[in-house]
Amino acid sequence: MSIIIPANSAVAGGFDVANSCNFEEGSLHKSVSSPSTTFTISIWVKLTNQYVGSSSIGQRYFWTGGDNSGASGAKWNDGNTGILDFYNEGTGHVNDGTGRNYRDPSAWYHWVWKNSGGTGTLYVNGVQQGSTFSMGPLIGSGGGNVINIGRYGAATTYAPMTMAEFVYLDGTGATPSSFGETDEDTGIWKPKSVSGLTFGTNGFYLDFQDSSNLGNDANGGTDLTKTGTLVQQTDTCTNNFCTMNPLENYYQAATLTEGNLKLLTATSSNTAPSLATFALTKGKWYYEAKYVSDSLAASSGAVGIVGTQILGATNSAMLETAQKYGLYLNDGNIWHNNSKVQDLGSHIDHTATIGISLDFDNNRITFSKDGGWGDGSGNWDEAAPNTFYTVAAPSTVDFGAYFPAFGDWSSGSIGYEINFGCPMYAISSSNSDADGFGNFEYAVPSGHFAICTKNLAEYG
């Protein structure tokens, strides 16, 4: 299982990447004029929705040059193989030569493709992968002098991934040290400023900081044109936010979209919960979820935390065992080990925004509805999370930590739009935590923080 824990968190300081862009429903493109056969493309990428079980998700292209019939480009390979692949127009596919799979949806990868006059080299997180290979031109012979980002040629099948710091150098074969460096304290590969690089005639730099123009060339050249819908994010390679985890979703088989932040549970009786990517051991945390759809007769949704995952024939549901705690949407109360353990509020309606308070300094959990915290008497009218249930200490559960989790308690499906601080849906009021991180619909409780690596490094 892929997770993020505090020891893996990036330290504060140094070059900061403010924004990224999600390409699940859109792409960018730009015409180029006689591009050099020597070029470099550098991007930071966070993979999003992936295969479930053995189901194929197809191919997702980071970038291509040319139209559909003759495009060269780089992609994350077919289905559940997870191999990084460069497609040479006319000569076929070349992977990194190692057979290595890239499947971690919780991490940011740095990928650099260098083409020095037809000799290609691939680097991942600053390290060369395999040997050099024959690399085709930026633009395939099929026509269309255009570079596409987030799609194959002119197709409208987009790439379900988030990208940051997209750099194209036309006429320069650069190494990863032009774009990143190793943190001397942690050993983590991290980005650095790309100012001073030679971009060439067609080169460009996308920092995604202009929300009104996500195709803005921060190097000052001609901007790229948007197709479809792009979403600006604050989840970046210098502040990684929690999402739902497609690798901890096998038995539930929930559908994950919108950067792994929209979850629709399966219509079958597979009620095992889906888990998030971050393991929490201490500190106070806040996140939200919009309750967006439900085909269950009794609104049998369950939102909470999991300290163990029991799979197989038992098919342990969200609220059925001792190391799972959560809010049962049907009655608005906290359940644990197959029993109601804390009166809280009342039934949760569709379209409501549920707030979750996790306090692992005192081992407490509680919930709010549309900004009002449960008072223990059936009302959602408290200004602070004062009515709570005490959970077992994280150190005592099977995982040695708790994961945020979502699920249902019956056949049918239920949908959530989840916000750990970097939402994919529109926020009308925009509340951040005390350190300025996160974007929430309602006020963050005192002492609580958004679930991101900068906060984990400080409080987790």
Where would I find the H helices in 20-81?
Answer: none
pLDDT at 2: 41
SS3 of residue 170 by DSSP: strand
pLDDT tens-digit readout, 46-94: 987 654 333 445 567 788 887 666 667 777 654 555 666 666 665 666 6
| Domains detected in the chain | 19-233 (2.60.120.200), 246-459 (2.60.120.920)
pLDDT at 4: 43
SS3 of residue 61 by DSSP: strand
- Token reading at 217: 């060339």
How large is the greatest C-alpha to C-alpha distance in the chain, in angstroms? 72
Over the Cα atoms of the chain, what is R_g? 23
According to DSSP, residue 456 is labeled H
Q: Give dist(CA 309, CA 252) in Å, integer.
A: 11
pLDDT at 149: 92
Q: Give dist(CA 160, CA 243) in Å, integer.
A: 14
- Token reading at 419: 């916000």
Scan for tokens 């929705």, then name that residue.
Answer: 49
Where does residue 295 fall: left (phi above 0), alpha (psi -120 to 50 degrees), or beta otherwise? alpha
pLDDT at 10: 46
pLDDT at 66: 76
Beta bridge partners of 405: 275, 304
Extract the residue ranges of the chain whose pLDDT is less than 70: 1-13, 49-59, 67-71, 76-99, 140-143, 269-270, 297-298, 310-315
pLDDT at 312: 54
Q: Give dist(CA 331, CA 378) in Å, integer.
A: 9
Global pTM? 0.92
User: Between β-strands 364-369 and 389-390, what pairing exists: parallel, antiparallel or unpaired?
Assistant: antiparallel
Contact assessment for residue 24 and residue 257, using Cβ atoms and an 8 Å cutoff: yes
- Of residues 180, 163, 174, 242, the one with CA closest to residue 14: 180
Q: Give dist(CA 166, CA 204) in Å, integer.
A: 8
Scan for tokens 């056969």, then name that residue.
Answer: 37
Q: Give dist(CA 303, CA 287) in Å, integer.
A: 11
Beta bridge partners of 416: 263, 291
Contact assessment for residue 39 and residue 117, using Cβ atoms and an 8 Å cutoff: no
